Amino acid sequence: MLLSSTLEALRRKPIFLLWLKECRAAVIALCVHTLFMTLVLGPLVRVVVPKPKAYLGLIRTGHDAYPDVMWWLDLVLWPAGWALVGALAKSRVKPTIERARRESDDLSMAAEQAARQGDIERSILLLSRAEALAPDAPQRADAGRRLRERQGSRTAIQPLANESLTGAVGPGGRIRLVRTLGRGAMGTVHLGEDVVLGRRVAVKELASPLATDPAVRERFLREARALAQISSPYVVQVFDLYREGDRPFLTMELCEGEDLAARLRKKGKLPAAEAARLGAQIAEALAAAHARGVIHRDLKPANILFSGNDIKVADFGLARMGDSAMTQEGAVMGTPSYMAPEQTRGAAVDFRADLYALGCVLFEMLSGRPPYSGTVQEVLLAHASPASTPALDAAAIGAPSALARLVSRLLAKDPSDRPRSAKDVADALRSLALPRQAA
């Protein structure tokens, strides 16, 4: 039973890779043994067993013992070396299983801490790694259960029935809360009415358990600051930030249309001209953000809202501004299906990570699916892999080949191979959209 469970654990790719790391000594021993047997042993034996001497062209001793000696040495030393390497590799199995168990437990604890801080996306990433590294079935099942719970709780804000809500926020109760529009893991969005200016607004409120956490409040404030710095018709406008006791509220422009994710669920994919037009607007929003030193870092269809026929980019909660050190080194933050390779590794990112995410969004608009699918772990590994992202078939999706090439450039694994700026991307997409619109 123990042997079968150990073999089952080693068949799991993350644990197998961990075992290979643990077997460094065995690998080195194998390389040394192979080099010795192929390059050193022959000349060494020839020194010990010299060739028969010849006298006037005649061999005094008629037998060369070298081939016989080499045959016996090969027969003994090759299996002996392999047996030694195998013993070394086998000795690392138990430490590998123990290390995988410890790392899985550590990742699970880090995931719980991230969840308490309201960072559901990071909690999901950590739990997916914990599940992949768990060598025991009960430990793996527990991590998988919590992963599914987190994935269910991170669902984008869902529209609710016209839930009545009484109360007001802001100086003098300026913003009257009319009803709840939706609720997500991080908080609630209300429909509000500015009684002074007579306009409707969206009021974002942090969830009660998170409102007292300094790190979460800082992220909430950062979103407000990021939005306040950006001036673009394609970015949701922020109006003000209020606090009622421990409850922070952010009042923003109200977008009453659906988000891009909902539209793609309905339509599957969009015509090439429409995808290029919307992509140009998204790129314009990113260009305005990048000009102010703001990197979104979580661009995805659920964060792209429709306002009439145009879009507004929202949810800058993970944005990085300038040289902000808010994010810890090595922290993996974002949504797996739209994360740049450097982002999946927890490395420092710049505006080119947003361009990669835009490429993922365009890929989904044109094909009806993100570039990669599968479990969270599989998607992250696919993004991080140096292999090229699957290319769009321009003919199959009815798109200009130039549009397919642009998406491929946006999805380049090396950031230096991506376009120079979001503004360049916006200009290119606009030129691709205009001829089709005219037709």
CATH number at residue 421: 1.10.510.10
Which pLDDT band holds residue 118 (cuts at 50, 70, 90)? Answer: low
Looking at residue 350, its amino acid is: D
- Residue 290 CA to residue 296 CA, distance in Å, equals 9
Residues 272 and 220: beta-carbon distance below 8 Å = no
The pLDDT tens digits of the residues spanning 213-229 come to 777 777 777 777 777 88
Of 197, 222, 253, the position where a domain reaches its end is 253
Q: Is the pLDDT of residue 357 over 50?
A: yes
> Would the pTM count as exceeding 0.75?
no
Does one domain contain both 364 and 427? Answer: yes
Q: Which domain holds residue 370?
A: 260-438
Does one domain contain both 320 and 431? Answer: yes
Neighbours of 358 (CB within 10 A): 27
Does one domain contain both 181 and 222? Answer: yes
In a domain, 183, yes or no: yes
- Residue 24 CA to residue 6 CA, distance in Å, equals 20
Which pLDDT band holds residue 248 (cuts at 50, 70, 90)? Answer: confident
Does one domain contain both 271 and 199? Answer: no
- Residue 234 CA to residue 305 CA, distance in Å, equals 9
Q: What is the model's pLDDT at position 403?
A: 94
Q: Is the pLDDT of residue 27 over 90?
A: no
Does one domain contain both 308 and 401? Answer: yes
Residues 313 and 267: beta-carbon distance below 8 Å = no
Q: What is the model's pLDDT at position 28?
A: 87
Does one domain contain both 388 and 343? Answer: yes
- Residue 275 CA to residue 267 CA, distance in Å, equals 12
Q: What is the model's pLDDT at position 9?
A: 73
Tell me the torsion sign for CA atoms 175, 176, 178, 180: positive
Q: What is the model's pLDDT at position 55?
A: 63
- Residue 375 CA to residue 125 CA, distance in Å, equals 10
Looking at residue 160, its amino acid is: L
Average pLDDT over residues 122-148: 81
Q: How many domains does the chain have?
A: 3
Buried b (16+ CB within 10 A) or exposed e, 205-215: bbeeebbeeee
Does one domain contain both 182 and 204? Answer: yes
Q: How far apart, in Å, are the Cα atoms of 73 and each of 42, 45, 246? A: 10, 10, 79
Does one domain contain both 301 and 182? Answer: no
Catalytic residues: 298
The pLDDT tens digits of the residues spanning 328-338 come to 444 445 688 89
Does one domain contain both 281 and 238? Answer: no
In a domain, 417, yes or no: yes
In a domain, 52, yes or no: yes
Q: Which residue did the predictor score with more confidence, 112 or 321?
A: 112
Of 91, 120, 139, the position where a domain reaches its end is 91
Residue in this structure with the two tokens 């300038």, named with its chain if needed: 322
Element (H, E) at 24: helix 24-35
In a domain, 114, yes or no: no
Q: From the centroid of its chain, how far is CA 123?
A: 12
In a domain, 224, yes or no: yes
Q: What is the model's pLDDT at position 59?
A: 56
Structure tokens at 415: 């950031």
- Residue 360 CA to residue 71 CA, distance in Å, equals 60
In a domain, 329, yes or no: yes
In a domain, 11, yes or no: no
Does one domain contain both 334 and 416? Answer: yes
Cβ partners under 8 Å of residue 433, min gap 6: 273, 274, 276, 277, 280
Residue 402 three-state SS: helix
- Residue 277 CA to residue 260 CA, distance in Å, equals 13
Q: Is the pLDDT of residue 136 over 90?
A: no
> Which ranges of 340-400 does DSSP label H, i.e. alpha helix?
341-344, 351-367, 376-384, 394-397
In a domain, 296, yes or no: yes
Q: Is the pLDDT of residue 160 over 80?
A: no
Does one domain contain both 265 and 414? Answer: yes
| Share of residues in the chain with pLDDT > 90 (%) | 23
Between 109-118, 313-322, 401-410, the lowest mean confidence (pLDDT) is in: 313-322
Average pLDDT value for the chain: 81
Average pLDDT over residues 160-172: 60
Closest to 348 (Cα-Cα) out of 415, 412, 417: 415
Does one domain contain both 222 and 266? Answer: no
